Amino acid sequence: MLNFELYNPTKLIFGKGQIEKLPTLIPAGAKILLAYGGGSIFKNGVHEQARKSLEGYNIVEFGGIEANPHFETLMKAVAIIKEENIDFILAVGGGSVIDGVKFISAAVHFDGNPIDILQKHILIKENAMPFGTILTLPATGSEMNSGSVVTIAATQEKLAFGGSALFPQFSICDPTVIQSLPKRQLQNGVVDAYTHVLEQYLTYVHEGFLQDRIAESILQTLIQIGPNVIEKPTDYALASNFMWSCTMALNGLIQKGVPSDWATHMIGHELTALYGIDHARTLAIIGPNLYKVMFETKKEKLAQYGKRVFNLTGSEEEIAREAIEKTVAFFHSMGMKTALSENAENIEKTADFIVDRFEKRGWKGLGEKQNITLEKVKEIVLASY
């Protein structure tokens, strides 16, 4: 097992009716920026619950954070925080709103041009504005980690950043909020969480036995509940296991002491930036084709995955190949279209564009072994057409 440090200061408050605990979590007298996205929090009652719980607090609202939060929009919030002397941010929404608030938190006191946080991948270890979250869409795990992804609309770039100062102080996770979510968002949430686990699991055989078993249990749980929670979001057992699986998929635990990949995400981010494809759907497009192109590198771990998660039998190679097909079948059962041509038009130059962009950034060796070269990236994207 590799050396590691585990640090996660986020206080997670899980279950029904927990929004009423907000006054015990936010300092008395704090001036709050309440940040949200497209307004679904008004329809599902979360906004009303939050405002009622925070009666007596001075609150400024900031809405309109995009599904892939834009740098340009978030900088408007930074300006409001400075003008209004805000001292606490409450993110009410899904992973995109929380990711956006992480950038806002980092940018308020950043010494320099905040765009550098994204373009230079600056680690934020101090001077971030405190924030908490009310999760309304399980998917990204952003409610219990310190990572974020933000889009620069002007350059069509979707870039990741993070740092130890960007953990939420608290996250309220009430599974009943998923009842009002559109089916597409629930489908995305399951596939997003599933792929988060695969990025940390489908590498090579190692000695992190416990991490593997925890990862496999999350995958099996998502397979068990995924199709059902889409059809029965009011079932609390399904909803709570869905929400907790999404958090556990990316709160740092299964990544410690083991190698991880993340190339699927790095390529997938480009498809979102170029075509506006939902994040989870880019992962369903790229992931299986990456496993096929990098088959020899990942064959042993794919076989383990096939045996333990899908109970497959046969030769190692047969199991490994069938495991990829089982993954595709699961994605299809979750409403994913796994070819780029099914999700976007005018895709002919996509592979060349992404390779050129990666080359300019110096991203010439991705994956757990840095052996996903620019040539492999092109092969993966072309296989996704």
Task: For domain 182-383, give the CATH number.
Answer: 1.20.1090.10
> What's the pLDDT tens digit per position in 277-303?
999 999 999 999 999 999 999 999 999
Answer whether 11-177 and 182-383 agree in fold: no
Sorted by where each begins, the domain ranges of the chain are: 11-177, 182-383
Distance CA 366, CA 262 (A): 8
Task: For domain 11-177, give the CATH number.
Answer: 3.40.50.1970
- CB neighbour burial string for 322-333, b if at least 16 within 10 angstroms, e if fewer: bbbebbbebbee
* pLDDT given at position 39: 85
Distance CA 95, CA 68 (A): 9
* pLDDT given at position 265: 98
Distance CA 269, CA 118 (A): 13
Residue ranges in the chain assigned as alpha helix (H) = 22-25, 40-43, 46-53, 71-84, 95-108, 115-119, 183-201, 209-231, 236-249, 263-275, 279-293, 295-310, 316-333, 350-361, 374-383
Contacts of 81 (CB under 8 A, 6+ apart): 33, 89, 104, 108, 129
Give phi and psi for 133, each to the nearest 5. -135, 150
The ranges of the chain with pLDDT < 50 are none
Give the pTM.
0.96
Distance CA 384, CA 287 (A): 9
